[in-house]
Structure 1
Amino acid sequence: MKRLFLVEPVVALYAFSSFLIYPLVQQYVYRRLWQQLSNTTYPISDNTSRCAGNSSGNHSSYHEEVQRQASLFSLYTEVFSTVPSLVVTLMLVAYSDRGGRKITIIMPLIGTLIYTLTFLMVSFFELNVYLLIGSSLLSSLFGGIGTFLGGCFAYIADLCEDDRQKTLRMAGVDMMIGLLSGVASISTGYFLRAAGFNWPFVTSALCQCLILLYAIFILEETLKKAPTDAVSPDGSPQRSALKQMIFGVYKMFAGAKCKTVLILLILIFTSFSFAYVGGMSLMTLYELNEPLCWTEILIGYGSALSTTVFLTSFVGVSAFTYCGVPQLLIVLMGILSVISGMILLAFTKTTLLMFIVRVPMLLSIMPFPVLRSMMSKIISKSEQGALFACLSFLESLTNNVSSAVFNSVYAVTVAWYPGFIFLLSAGLCVIPLSILGVVGLIGVDVAKEAKDPEPILSEEEDPAIDQNDNSPLVS
């Protein structure tokens, strides 16, 4: 059978199968916890809100307790899966330079399939819902979404010789993720209403089996031959790869044109990611709570609308760059987009406003590719791999920690003010805003001192061409 150098079908089906069940996870846990705590059937309504007629004190107290338990469930899942996933990501990404890119694609696919099949068993046989925490830990031993996307982007980078071709293929991957995840999110609500939880899990599992077969038997490996230094003197290729990765990160900081600016940009990247991902991770729980009490149909539409930020942010970066808008200003607009959306979200009490509140957040992903582009320009070309390996690790760590922290805060504050968590997210965005102002001053000074014809933080480089972005799918 002829093999193909085409990784896009893997990304497309992975995005669809993942977002087909992602909105169902919190909904399923929520319903099971409701049944356990109230000993009653979960209220299902064809109306836009399940709160009508269920506003008694009993139901209100049940909602608060279920919200608290569900957020703690998410917290436990994040805590148990974060460390193994990060360690495996480092190992696989480091080893892929010698063992090939396919291992970073196939291993996360196996882990995702294990998690989906476990979910199907728990749903079909009505097993203990806390078994899902154990399956999350098991699947994290195969890597996570960061490992998968890192492997796919590295695969594309191996194939593309010129920057333009690389840009188009990587941009296509980002657009594909946004589009198919949106389609899956919309169909999830109708799928759940028509067939229950089991059939969406079956469909997702079948898609993942198809992806796995394609990745193993049809997808061609880009690295045919391992480098001569692949094996260390003691015969440990993985340890040698890790040593080289650590040395590469050290060289990246040591050889940077301006270490201070690089460190500040990394701080902006991680602090903004912490605030944004943490707030977005509680959207579904907030929609299930009173007074919204959204149905599965509305949650599907809401999730789909949230995924459009990948498309609108990409269009925004391209348009602003074409018009000559400075890179720092693009990052500023992205952060302000998140702040305004989170503040409005904290006071949202109606379904219409819940949809409208997503509009000011349509540019919220813009800071990620722009910051990557700015950091990439500061360091030399020989340390680009070390930079993106470091960013991938920090992003995965930040996203998992922020989700755990925000879930724990939400469990404490949901009884007296559920929207507090979004005000906290908006408040934390002040940190990257402040650091951004410092970078604006330092960047200009460094450029003048270096007497560069082109400043370090040049405003003419197109940030949209750096599509090594594996920013969060809330995702």
Structure 2
Amino acid sequence: MNEPDTVTILDHVHGPEFGTEDQEPTATFSARSKKPPFSCFRPVTVEPVLFFSTFSIALQGPLFTQYLWERFSEDAGHNSSRRSECNSTSDPLQKDIETLVAHWNLYINLGGFLLGLLVVPFLGSWSDKAGRRPLLIVPSLGLALETVVYLVVMYTRLPVGFFLLGRMISGISGDFNCILASSFTYIADTSDRSSRTFRVAILEACLGLSGMLASIIGGKWMRAQGYITPCWLVLATRLASALYSYLFVCESVSVDPSVRLFSTSHHKALWKLYSTGGSQSTGTVHKYKLWLYTCCFFVVVGVHSGCRGIFVLFELSSPLCWGSELIGYGSAALHLAYLSSLLGLKVMTRCLEDSWVALVGLLSNMAGLLVFTAANTTPLVFTGYGLLLFFMTTTPVIRSKLSKLVAPSEQGALFASIACVETLCSLVGSSVFNAIYPATLHFMKGFPFLFGAIILLIPFGVIR
């Protein structure tokens, strides 16, 4: 029997039930395209890739910030233990070091984010025809090379400006946001509308579980052996992510061998998606929904990225004066909210619409940030972390809503645009909050958290 001219992807995934109102329109590919091996789909697919990658990010982030603190403290002749000076909230040298660390965090992150902003959009659209697996493997290798550069700088005590080189290598290969986008696109390829929100939430929970483990391990390990040894684990997990993607992740789309990587058509696909609302567009309202949900995603993730970038600085300095172990527990408490959000989402979706679940997440986020605004003791800080219990229920709902607005053949372009927005969120959030923090230290140390809680009112008023 001859092979049919077209291959219906969702028929392979969902069987003969295709065609109900809860499922998307059929996506077809030419007969010359290589048929994807749908028979090798498993219950666990890209989750380990995201787990390993997030583990490495969560382990490296606090280590890097604390390394910069210690490095600048030594250069300035400041007591690296910070115990005697930390009790004085008016120590000008400590404030100079805080400002210097915040600014260098900003400069180094900018290098990776700007390159990622250029690279990620067309890579995602390209993956609609070239496959998802390359966008899991290449960024993992780029992150591994970044870690190699960081290790060289730490071992040889090169100027901290060389950290920028590592971030640029990671950025040009797609960075973590490319892995994130590819993972969510893969889930969109292999799930139906009814299960998509929860499948997306499972990926979000992988972010939290890996971050929690990395935070606990990193704090204790750094206290025992310093900054360099844990970085070797960062390198190992990034290589493991690339190896797992190569060996165990099956392709989820039909691969067109003739597709070119460097083509303006990939950017045109993104432009068409947002200018017309996609092939499933039913009019202007459909297009506006796409834009409004994207803007909500921008605000929510921007606040998450900005606040996460200053939590460690907030805890290192007076009056808290936390050490590496407490910082690890604090970061673990933050990432534990990913798991509690998954459980909360599973329970709440039984009796509430997705939009109401997102609003509960926003209320949780705002409540936690308001406590951080006035947190000057360790119990208050952990109270703030506790109130962030459901703060991660918002983003999976928005991702799922966006995914349901476009056709299966546009999922790569959509999640490429979301990755682009996420990169911009990290860029803007990191820039704004790292700039606000040193500028407001003299009158209100927790002002950035208050600012974040206020601007979350924007998506709160939009999501329905």
TM > 0.5 fold call:
yes
Aligned length: 421
Q: Report percent identity of matched pairs.
A: 30
Q: CA deviation at 1:141?
A: 0.8
Q: Distance in 1 between matches of 2:292 and 2:188?
A: 27
Provide the TM-score with structure 1 as the length reference.
Answer: 0.80
The residue number in structure 1 matching 2:356 is 329
Aligned residue in 2 for 1:310? 338
Paired position in structure 1 for 2:387 = 360
CA distance in 2, matches of 1:430, 1:164: 28
Q: Is the 8 A contact 2:201 2:393 kept in 1?
A: no
Instruction: Map 1:418-433; keep pairs closer than 5 Å.
Output: 418-433=445-460
In the TM superposition, residue 164 of structure 1 has moved relative to its aligned partner by 6.9
Task: Tell me the equivalent position of 2:442.
Answer: 415
AA matched with 2:265: S
Distance across 1 between alignment mates of 2:407 and 2:240: 40
Give the Cα separation in 2 of the matches to 1:169 and 1:268: 21
Amino acid at match of 2:233: T
How far 1:370 sits from its partner (Å)? 2.0
Who is 2:271 aligned against? Answer: 246
Query: Which segments of 5 or more consecutive residues in structure 2 lack a partner in the other structure?
Result: 1-38
2:311 corresponding residue in structure 1: 283
- Per-residue Cα deviation, 1:39-96 (whole angstroms, up to 9, x for no partner): 24411xxxxxx54575358x82221111111111111123222221111111221222
Instruction: Tell me the equivalent position of 2:87.
Output: 55
CA distance in structure 2 between the partners assigned to 1:383 and 1:120 by the alignment: 40
Q: Tell me which of 284, 288, 292 is aligned to 2:320.
A: 292
Q: CA offsets per residue over residues 187-242 of structure 1, 9 Å max, x none? A: 111101111111101122123233333434554444564177x36xxxx7633333
Alignment of 1:154 with 2:154, yes or no, is no
Equivalent residue letter for 1:200: P
Conserved 8 A contact 1:331-1:366: yes
Matched-pair contact (CA < 8 Å) for 2:70–2:80: yes
User: CA 1:26 to 1:78, structure 2 compared with 1: closer, same or farther past 3 Å?
Assistant: same
1:390 maps to 2:421: no
Q: Does residue 153 of structure 2 align to residue 122 of structure 1?
A: yes
Q: CA deviation at 1:351?
A: 1.0
Do the aligned partners of residues 165 and 384 (structure 1) sit closer, same or farther apart at CA in structure 2, a change above 3 Å counting?
same
Query: CA–CA distance in 2 between the matches of 1:327 and 1:166?
Result: 11
Question: Once the two structures are superposed, what CA deviation does each residue of 1:142-171 show, in whole Å capped at 9, x if it has no partner?
Answer: 11222012222334444x375678677655
Instruction: Decide which of 55, 60, 66 is 1:27's aligned counterpart.
Output: 66
Match runs of 1:66-465 below 5 Å? 66-158=97-189, 160=190, 170-217=200-247, 219-223=249-253, 225-226=255-256, 230=259, 238-252=263-277, 255-257=281-283, 258=285, 259-323=287-351, 325-378=352-405, 383-436=410-463, 440=464
User: For the structure 1 residues 4 and 195, does the alpha-carbon distance in structure 2 shift closer, same or farther, using more than 3 Å as the test?
Assistant: farther
Judging changes above 3 Å, is the alpha-carbon distance between structure 1 residues 156 and 366 closer, same or farther for their aligned structure 2 residues? closer
| Larger CA deviation: 243-252 vs 306-315 | 243-252
Letter of the 1:286 counterpart: F
2: CA distance between counterparts of 1:222 and 1:307? 29
Structure 2 Cα separation of the partners of residues 182 and 113 of structure 1: 21
Residue 16 of structure 1 corresponds to which residue in structure 2? 55
- Unaligned ranges ≥5, structure 1: 44-49, 441-475
Aligned match of 2:11 = none
In 1, Cα distance between the equivalents of 2:436 and 2:349? Answer: 38
Residue 71 of structure 1 contacts residue 408 of structure 1 at CA under 8 Å; is this kept in 2?
Answer: yes
Q: Which residue of 1 aligns with 2:32?
A: none
Mapped to 2, the partners of 1:64 and 1:399 lie a distance apart of: 24
Work out the CA distance in 2 between the residues paired with 1:383 and 1:212: 25
Aligned residues of 1:182 and 1:304 also touching (Cα < 8 A)? yes
* 1:363 CA drift (Å): 1.2
Equivalent pair of 1:376/1:387 in contact (CA under 8 Å):
yes
3-state SS in 2 of match to 1:365? helix
Residue matched to 1:459: none
Q: Deviations over 1:93-134 (max 9, x none)?
A: 122222222221122112211221111112222221221123
| Distance (Å, rounded) in 1 between the aligned partners of 2:113 and 2:329 | 29
- CA drift of 1:332 comes to 2.4
- Write out per-residue CA displacement over residues 267-304 of structure 1, whole angstroms, 9 at most, x where no aligned residue: 32222332333223211110011000100000000001
Instruction: Quickly say closer, same or farther: Cα 1:220–1:434, change in 2 above 3 A.
Output: closer
Q: Do the aligned residues in 2 keep the contact of 1:252 with 1:383 (CA within 8 Å)?
A: no
Contact kept? 1:338, 1:364, Cα under 8 Å: yes
Relative distance call for 1:333 and 1:155 in structure 2 (3 A) is: closer
CA RMSD of aligned residues (A): 2.9
Write the distance in 1 (CA, Å) between the matches of 2:291 and 2:200.
26
User: Which amino acid in structure 2 is aligned with residue 151 of structure 1?
Assistant: S
1:465 is matched with none
Shift of residue 135 of structure 1?
Answer: 1.8
Compare 88-97 and 170-179 and name the one that shifted more.
170-179
SS in structure 2 at match of 1:415: coil
Asked whether the 8 Å contact 2:149–2:165 carries over to 1, the reply is no
Q: What is the TM-score of this pair, normalised by structure 2?
A: 0.82
Measured in 2, the distance between the counterparts of 1:263 and 1:376 equals: 13
CA change 1:417–1:170 in 2 (3 A) is closer
SS of 2:91 mapped into structure 1: helix
Question: 1-side partners of 2:357 and 2:374: how far apart?
Answer: 27
**CA pair 243-24 structure 1, distance change in 2 beyond 3 A:** same
Shift in CA distance, 149/113, structure 1 to aligned 2, threshold 3 Å = same
386-395 or 194-203, larger mean C-alpha shift? 386-395
How far the C-alpha of 1:178 sits from its partner, in A, is 1.7
1: CA distance, partners of 2:238 / 2:407? 38
Structure 1 Cα separation of the partners of residues 354 and 308 of structure 2: 25
One-letter amino acid matched to 1:206: A
